[in-house]
Amino acid sequence: MNFNINLEDIAQIIIGAFALAVPISFSEEAWRLGETLPLFNLLLVVILSVCFLALFAYQSVFQGDILHRNFVFIFRVVIAYAITLGVVSLVLLSLDKFPLLTEPILAIKRLIIIAMPASMGAIVVDSFDKE
């Protein structure tokens, strides 16, 4: 099974995620939202993030043709979100706003909040080079 993801795709996802993660990660509003947003709302943010990633990937990256590539499509969405989470983690860590060891819930909340727009940046840049 050909997963159709290469180093160029990964680099595009990283660049797209970084482009939106950086300005939002510098926002005190995003940090505070991580402190106050209830878990139910965080779950909604994750669901919305993945749904929009899937919708954009379906329309733009796969051009609506996933009939015989369902697994590849799902793999692409999961990889894009996972790479985005990694990029956002590194950005927050570099800003000392990712207290994973001391306040893991807060760190994960901030990660999810900032990953939402960053994941869209990731998939948009990834779509520049269609399959």
Q: What is the pLDDT of residues 71-116, one digit of tens each?
A: 888 998 999 999 999 999 999 999 999 999 999 999 999 999 999 9
pTM: 0.90
**Cα(28)–Cα(130) distance, integer angstroms:** 36
pLDDT band at 130 (very low <50, low <70, confident <90, very high): low
**Cα(87)–Cα(101) distance, integer angstroms:** 18
CA distances from 121 to 12, 69, 99 (A): 10, 23, 24
Least confident range from 52-56, 85-89, 124-128: namely: 124-128
**Cα(39)–Cα(33) distance, integer angstroms:** 12
Q: Could you tell me if 94 and 86 are in contact, meaning their C-beta atoms sit under 8 angstroms apart? A: no
More confident call, 99 vs 69: 99
